[in-house]
Structure 1
């Protein structure tokens, strides 16, 4: 154990002292935020301020054009198609909607012209506006008031409650799904990130012939375990730093927004204005105070939903640490065995696919099955099988209802799988670490498992 600890300490200190580790630990939370925020900002920038010209030859929009939104507005042009096309070419509108004389029972013949591709979002908005106009005419012909029909629609405030042997517990499907994806994604990323580091570290020592010197003092199994445990410590350190920095960034960002000031300003405007105007002002949030109030309301609502979800936080955190470490050790041994069996990174592709496929499959299946039916048979077997349980079980736990025996069985099988994987990887590692210049196949690997010595 002293040799394993010495190797693990060396692997840990070597990596945490690198500039790349320090830089990534500092900017990691910012990059994570940018990963989700930038696409949203780009989408808003690209979709904002679009103008659609309407050539209403059929009189569909005689009374009024479709209501303008923050991203889209409609303007009226000549109902003659040829004239409308000429105007469209001269102007800088994004699209031209031609409305023919149609039968509202069978509305066909609508055309949309654009200089380039419309884009799915713009096409959907135009189609929605035309559909609503047809619906209004059908309602008017049937003698039904649109306002009355809208008032008949209901938006039920549905509260979900989980019934278990421990009693009733409030739940939130949306929050549970978000927490499940968060934990599953972290395990998925860290297994890949640090598993590949183990593989590359073994390959580097093998290529530079450093291992020939090291192997004279320690056993191959001790060397592999030291690498796996040392890099595991690096992963935990970086995860802890990211959590602390994320909390710090969140606290610092909230300090720039004064909820009391924003809410006071918003309340003053609501009191001074008519109800409709106030509602419009809040919805549009044209001023910084409006935006701050809207963000504050959103944050308060989100925190309320998290509170109502009544998640078992200690259980989730404890299981996350267990499956985070167990999944990493399980796959880290396999990555180390791959690194010892090949001479270059290009040769790893044939062995990487069988190892990484269960992880990828679990993450893909989680979107269709695990989060929609977390207590079904597929979710059960995937959360028990060691190759898929680190992600699958963390996808199930936030929804509750996982029996204790299933959780204990999953943990026991993951530990047994890790021990078995370490044994298999050690058998491959002890031969492959000193094997040079030979193209390794699966048949050759199977022979290494039974070599004596």
Structure 2
């Protein structure tokens, strides 16, 4: 164990002292935030007030044009198409909508003109307001007012409650799904990134012949275990830094754009007079309500946080140790990156399969037969079980059996990888096949 500890310590310190590790640990959370924030920022900067000209030859909007909403407004131009096109070219309009004389039973012949190309969002907005006005006129012909129809519509706020042996517990399917995907993705990413590091590290030592000197003082199995444990420590360190920095960044952002501050800033800007909100204020209030609903959903999810955190750390490490030894065995069996492809696919296929199945089965039926079996098999359990736990209802015996099998799988794969490692680490210039690997497992000595 002393030799394994020394190797793990050397692997750990060598990697955490690299500038690339320090830089990625610091900017990793910022890159994650930027991944979601930059597209929104670009979209907000690119959005500008759009004015759409309406040539209403069919008198569809005879009473009034659609109300201006957020950054979109409509203006009336000549109903004659030729004159309307001239006005469109002379003005600064985003698009020209031509409404022909139409039959409400079969409204056809609508046209939209633009200078370069119509955006999907603008086309959807124009299509929505035209469809709504056609519906309004059809309702009027039928003697039904739009207000009456709107009153008949319902928007029920459904509260989900989990019934278990521990009693009733409120839940949120959306929050559970988000946490399930987050946990599964982190484990998936960690296994791939640091598993490949083990493989490349073994390959570098093998091709540079450094390993020939090292194994004169330690056994190949001890060398492999030291690498696996040392790089595991590197991954945990980086994950901890990401979590701490992400919490700090999230707290700073939440403190500046919290729903309460948004509402307070709007109250400060309003006058004492009672007046109708502008479209921009309505949109802002709607966004605030959405944010408030998200906060409420997180609060009402009533997740078992200690259980989730403990299980995440277990499957996080267990999945890495299970696959890390296999990646080490692959690195010892080959001499270059090209040769790793034939062995990488069988090892990584269960992980990829779990992610493919997760969207169709694991998150839609987390307690179904497929989900239960995938959460038991060590090849798929690190991701599958963590995608089941946020939904609740996982019996403790299933969780216990899954953990025991994962530990047993780690011991088995470590032994198997050690048998391959002790032979492959000194094998040079030979194309290895699966048949050759099977022979290495049973070599004596």
TM-score (norm 1): 0.91
Residue in 2 that maps onto 1:234: 234
Aligned twin of 2:355: 363
Partner of 2:390: 398
Partner residue, 2:164: 164
Q: CA RMSD in A?
A: 2.4
Q: Is the 8 A contact 1:48 1:70 kept in 2?
A: no
Cα distance change on mapping 1:49 and 1:347 into 2, 3 Å: farther
**Partner of 1:64 in structure 2?**
64
| Residue of structure 2 equivalent to 1:352 | 344
Q: 1:87 to 1:213 in 2, by over 3 A?
A: farther
Match status 1:411 vs 2:410: no
User: Does structure 1 residue 110 correspond to structure 2 residue 110?
Assistant: yes
Instruction: For 1:64-213, list aligned pairs within 5 A.
Output: 64-213=64-213
Q: Tell me which of 322, 325, 333 is aligned to 1:333.
A: 325
Give 1:154 deviation, angstroms.
1.7
Q: What's the counterpart of residue 53 of structure 1?
A: 53
- The equivalences for 1:248-263 within 5 A come to 248-256=248-256, 263=263
Q: 1:349 to 1:402 in 2, by over 3 A?
A: same
Relative to structure 1, the CA distance from residue 173 to residue 216 in structure 2 (aligned partners, 3 Å threshold; closer, same or farther) is same
Q: What is the TM-score normalised by the length of structure 2? A: 0.92
What displacement does 1:449 show? 2.3
Task: Output the CA distance in 2 between the equivalents of 1:379 and 1:117.
Answer: 46
Secondary structure in 2 aligned to 1:384? coil
Distance 1:358 1:64, change over 3 A: farther
Segments of structure 1 that go 5 or more residues without pairing to the other structure are none
CA distance in 2, matches of 1:54, 1:299: 35
Partner of 1:311: 303
Contact 1:339 1:348 in 2 (8 A): yes
Q: Which residue of 2 aligns with 1:372?
A: 364
Find the counterpart in structure 1 of residue 36 from structure 2. Answer: 36
Tell whether 2:422 aligns with 1:423.
Answer: no
Contact 2:69 2:280 in 1 (8 A): no
Per-residue deviation at 1:259? 7.7
Deviations 1:358-382 (A, max 9, x none): 2222223222222222112222222
Closer, same or farther: CA 124–259 of 1 in aligned 2, 3 Å: closer
* Structure 2 unpaired stretches of 5+: none
Structure 1 CA distance for aligned equivalents of residues 83 and 344 of structure 2: 62
* Residue among 305, 308, 320 paired with 2:312: 320
User: Residue deviations 1:189-230, cap 9 Å, x none?
Assistant: 111111111111111111211111111111111111111100
For residues 302 and 351 of structure 1, what CA distance do their matches in structure 2 show?
44
Return the offset for 1:27: 1.1
After superposition, give the CA deviation of every residue in 1:277-308 in whole Å (9 maximum; x if it has no partner): 2x8564344xxxx89xx76x666543332221
Over 3 Å counting, the alpha-carbon distance change for 1:262 and 1:428 in structure 2 is: same
